[in-house]
Amino acid sequence: MSYLEFLSQYGDRIASGTLITIALTALAALLAMAIALAAGLMRMARNVAVRGVATVYIEIFRGTSLLVQLYWIFFVLPLFGITLEKFTAGFVAVGMNLGAYGAELVRGAVQSVPRGQWEAALALNMSPAKRMRRVILPQAVLIMLPSWGNLLIELLKGTALVALISVTDLMFQVKQINGTTFMSAEAFGTALVIYYVLARFMITPFMRWLERFMMRKMGRA
Amino acid sequence: MDKADISGLPLRLEGDDVPMVSFKKVTKSYGNLVVLDSLDLDVAEGEMVTIIGPSGSGKTTVLRMLMTLETINSGVIYVDGEPLTHMERGGRLVPADNRHLRKIRSKIGMCFQHFNLFPHMTALENCMEGPVHVLGLSKSQAKERSEELLALVGMADKRNQHPSRLSGGQQQRVAIARALAMRPKVMLFDEVTSALDPEVIGEVTNVIRQLVGEHNLTMLMVTHQMGFAKDISDRVCFFFGGHIEEQGTPEELFGNPQKKRTQQFLSAVKEAV
């Protein structure tokens, strides 16, 4: 079978797997950002308990394997009465894992906003929440965008693990195709190229665009 | 904070001649380093007081404590007769909570050495930020007020520029307008010309000069511009080693300084120029 024949026969399954991978990536990214923001801000809280919760979360999810976390969420949580559908378990695991890395990006970026910005916001008598939301975070976002570009690529690649709990993503589809056709080079080669294209020609340009957009808002472009 | 340090200080200042700002026995230290040692300083309403002195003498700390950017170790600061650092609880003064701080802080505005404009907002947005999001004014009210003030500081034509497109002098003028937009009773200027190129210092000092004439503002200024201080101050305080070594009218302090340290400082400054 030529590669063209291979594509025409299995193209549909590869395409549907790719769509699942994109959906997983998008949902996991949203979850990761929400968790990163919350945990990152909690890490800087004055309250020891609040800070402790965030620290423990970050330590656990950064310090253990994503695959083990995925298995925990899918196979162990049901024992405690929490059953997640496999697609949900997939993006939740990836989102929670990358969110822990993102939390440190948020904290680092917030702390690198110059001190004078806090002081000017306080001199305008802004409340702590307004200072954060209106003055500090918009500047912190610009600082952490390049690192988020890297993290999102990691996240995209991390979603391949969900094939192991039978989510029908790109990796799952090509494994199935390989199992029936033994055309390993074609199957895994195609997957390799698709992951690369998604990272290089979708995530990277999107982050570049976002950076330029934010720079324009700062009047710097 | 040691309670004994504030015993005997009134819950509020009352009478005909209540100063706008009053430091009573205010002490500030970092560990063993005493930055301000039992400072007493009154500033009358509408008065322009300039603080000069060598670096490390505690002059900037005075402004930062008044803006509540620094806490104090003992003593009480009063603004407009009311305690700023403390509040009344059961007939006694206790350290102020955040709500009290926000209430009293609304009477104070501050300009910084490095301007600290918000880089993600235009000049106009910088000025509108406080009125809209702190005072709760409508956007159109805040815009009107901000445009007036930007015109006052000569920045009306640059109102839609971001700070990164403005020179230091221009940024500092916007920062003054931003602080004034909150309608403070007291304005603090913390070395506002120190980070500027020499040729643009004049545009900022001219704005401050104008404020002395046009507004009945109480102003406290820390500066190294002796000529400017001499021109516009009602009173000049020379700080040394955490206390006021000498104070008086500009004529007295610059023309006929009494203390040895004042004389040394002023002659050292003169030589530098």
**What is the DSSP code string of A45-104?**
-SSHHHHHHHHHHHHHHHHS-HHHHHHIIIIIGGGGT----HHHHHHHHHHHHHHHHHHH
Residue B189 near residue B223 (C-beta atoms within 8 A) = yes
pLDDT in tens, A105-128: 999 999 999 999 999 999 999 999
For chain A, the first-to-last Cα distance in angstroms comes to 52
The nearest CA of chain B is from the CA of A126 a distance in Å of 6
Q: In the prediction, which pLDDT does A177 show?
A: 95
| pLDDT for B5 | 67
* Residues of chain B with C-beta less than 8 angstroms from the C-beta of A221: none
Tell how far CA A184 is from the center of its chain: 28
Task: Check B182 against A124: CB less than 8 A apart.
Answer: yes
Q: Write the residue in A121, A138, A219 that is nearest to B164 by C-beta.
A: A219
Please give the pLDDT value at position B56: 81
Question: Cα–Cα–Cα angle for A34, A36, A40, nearest 5°?
Answer: 125
Q: How far is A44 from chain B (nearest CA, A)?
A: 19
- Please determine, for the modelled complex, whether the ipTM score is greater than 0.85: yes
Average pLDDT, chain B: 93
Closest CB from B68, B102, B118 relative to A135: B118
Interface probe for B, chosen from A46, A113, A117, A125 (most Cβ of B below 10 Å), is A125
Instruction: Return the SS3 of A12.
Output: helix
Interface of A with B (CB under 8 A): 114, 116-117, 119-127, 130, 134-135, 138-139, 142, 217-220
Q: Are B98 and B38 in contact (CB under 8 A)?
A: no
Written as six digits, the tokens of B189 are 């200027």
Could you read off the pLDDT of B229-244 as tens digits, one per residue?
A: 999 999 999 999 899 9
pLDDT at B4 over 90: no
Q: What does pLDDT average to over chain A?
A: 95
Domains and CATH numbers, chain A: 3-217 (1.10.3720.10)
Q: What is the mean pLDDT of residues B83-101?
A: 92
The answer to whether B246 touches B257, Cβ cutoff 8 Å, is yes
Q: Do A130 and B133 touch (CB under 8 A)?
A: yes
A116–B114 C-beta distance less than 8 A: yes
- Give residue B273's pLDDT: 62
Give B3's pLDDT tier (boundaries 50, 70, 90): very low
Nearest beta carbon to residue B134 from set A114, A124, A219: A124
Q: Is the pLDDT assigned to residue B169 strictly greater than 70?
A: yes
CA angle A29, A211, A20 (to 5 degrees): 25
Asked if residue B37 has pLDDT above 70, the reply is: yes
With beta carbons under 8 A apart, name residues in chain B contacting A122: 67-69, 105
**DSSP symbol at B87:** E
pLDDT in tens, A3-49: 999 999 999 999 999 999 999 999 999 999 999 999 999 999 999 99
pLDDT of residue B261: 95
